[in-house]
Structure 1
Amino acid sequence: MRFALERPGLFRVMFGERGQRGDPGRRDATRSIHAYLDAGVHRAFGIDEPAATTTGLWALVHGLACLYLDDKFEPASPDGISERVRTTLAATLALRTP
């Protein structure tokens, strides 16, 4: 989230353009990102099959970043934004079913 807000142009270039589905470099990069995030979710929450939780959390934080960048939320301090991310993640994780 902080990355997106501190480097909005780079964030938009990274995520705003369509990738080429068949591009091996794109597939490898996506696999690496998912593996890294899955490992973090597994460590943080002890989830043995973290793929769905990882996808949901990534989408949630990415969406929050886009909403802030597009001025859909009132401007907030970095601490205020971090608090919103934390409370949103906590509320979402509380809904997770085993």
Structure 2
Amino acid sequence: MRVRLVDAQDSGPAGQELVCLAQPYVRYAVEHPAVFRLMFNRSCDPSHSGVKAAGDAACAVLSPHVVAGVPPELHETHVTGWWSLVHGLAALVLYGKIPRDDGAIQQVDELVRSTVTAMSRP
């Protein structure tokens, strides 16, 4: 997932950075459901050095975009909130709670774009 996030971080127009990072996160869940579920399963021990390193690496890509313009004391809250939003979208799509046509990744991208854009407004 980190590779997709790195590739996406500078791929869109100014002001759409969060959308460009959210879309590959949700796409990864849809395209690799077993791996995505395993990554967030209880059996995937977050204290394991490899698991922690992978999570930290992905967070290092996302965090600067999420906290841009946010006071330092709110950085952790913004990162947690953004992750919750995007991960929630991924889970809802993955578990079929948000209807979509089979194979219609464009629908997923549009859902992510519209939701992240709406939630990013002041």
Structures share a fold, TM > 0.5? yes
Q: Which runs of 5+ in 1 are unaligned?
A: none
For 1:56 and 1:11, the matched residues in 2 are separated by 19
Tell me, yes or no, if structure 1 residue 85 matches structure 2 residue 116.
Answer: no
1:20 CA drift (Å) = 3.4
What amino acid sits opposite 1:72 in the alignment?
K
C-alpha distance 21-85 of structure 1, shift in aligned 2 (>3 A): closer
Q: Which runs of 5+ in 2 are unaligned?
A: 1-25
For 1:64 and 1:15, the matched residues in 2 are separated by 14
> Secondary structure at 2:40's aligned position in 1?
helix
> Secondary structure at 2:121's aligned position in 1?
helix
RMSD across aligned positions (CA)? 2.2
Cα distance per residue 1:10-54 (max 9 Å; x no partner): 111111234435444444444433333212324xx4334332222
Determine the structure 2 residue equivalent to 1:67: 92
Residue from 26, 34, 43 that aligns with 2:59: 34
For 1:5 and 1:21, the matched residues in 2 are separated by 22
Determine the structure 1 residue equivalent to 2:70: 47
For 2:61 and 2:34, the matched residues in 1 are separated by 24
1:57 CA drift (Å) = 1.2
Does the 8 Å contact 2:100/2:107 carry over to 1?
no
